[in-house]
Amino acid sequence: MTETNSLVEIRWHGRGGQGGVTSAELIAQAAISEGKYAQAFPSFGPERRGAPVQAFNRIDSKEPVRIRADVTEPDIVTVLDPGLLSIVNVTSGLKKNGIVVINTRKTAEQIRSEFGISHRVATVNATRIAREQLGVPIVNTTMLGALIKVAGAIKKESIHAPLESRFGRLGERNIKAMETAYAEVVIEEQ
């Protein structure tokens, strides 16, 4: 997040049931706990579990967020399911200096070559991390760590309380998954 533009807009791409909406809500809660202005909301139609879905965040460190529309020109796109790259144009509207954060085993170069992505790419194997830390391949809280590092809009410690509140006794494991992704995300240079 730059000082000249205090608003960061994020679009989440996932599948119904993967927790993208939950992650967007947790990021907003963390930002608000830091005294920032934030919103999170999903884009739902007749989708069912497994169908492509989107969720959105706006975080502003200076002014209340008054826009109540889908994020069509995001600064950051977060992709929970790499299978969506071949069926959804995840970079649609992504700002020129935007970045795509992808759950994948592939390198940024491989992703760029295979899917023709011209924006910066950050990669993390969130599925592996989730399996190791949570015992299941549910990557939404894991991807929070990668997003937080890429965005720089909130401190990673600020997500701890929302994770503990949301997941109760599993909060600590979700925090560990988030922290691991934060440490392991590979961000392309500008």
Distances (CA, A) of 182 to 16, 28, 77, 104, 178: 24, 18, 16, 14, 6
Summarize pLDDT for 52-72 with one digit per residue, the tens: 899 999 999 999 999 888 999
The arithmetic mean of pLDDT across residues 10-32, rounded, is 94
How large a percentage of the chain has pLDDT more than 70? Answer: 94
Residue 50 has pLDDT above 80, yes or no: no
Residue 44 has pLDDT above 70, yes or no: no
Distances (CA, A) of 177 to 80, 86, 173, 183: 14, 26, 6, 10
pTM: 0.93
Residue 38 has pLDDT above 50, yes or no: yes
Pairwise CA distance, residues 166 & 110, whole Å: 35
The arithmetic mean of pLDDT across residues 26-49, rounded, is 87
User: Between 19 and 26, where is the model more confident?
Assistant: 26
Summarize pLDDT for 144-171 with one digit per residue, the tens: 999 999 999 999 999 999 999 999 999 9
For the beta carbon of residue 92, count every other beta carbon within 10 angstroms. 11
Side-by-side strand order, sheet with 37-43: 37-43, 52-60, 7-15, 76-79, 99-103, 120-124, 186-187
Q: 2: pLDDT confidence band, cut at 50, 70 and 90?
A: very low
pLDDT on residue 1: 41
- C-alpha count within 13 angstroms, C-beta hemisphere, residue 151: 30
Going along the chain from its start, the domains and CATH numbers come out as 7-187 (3.40.920.10)
Summarize pLDDT for 108-131 with one digit per residue, the tens: 999 999 999 999 999 999 999 999
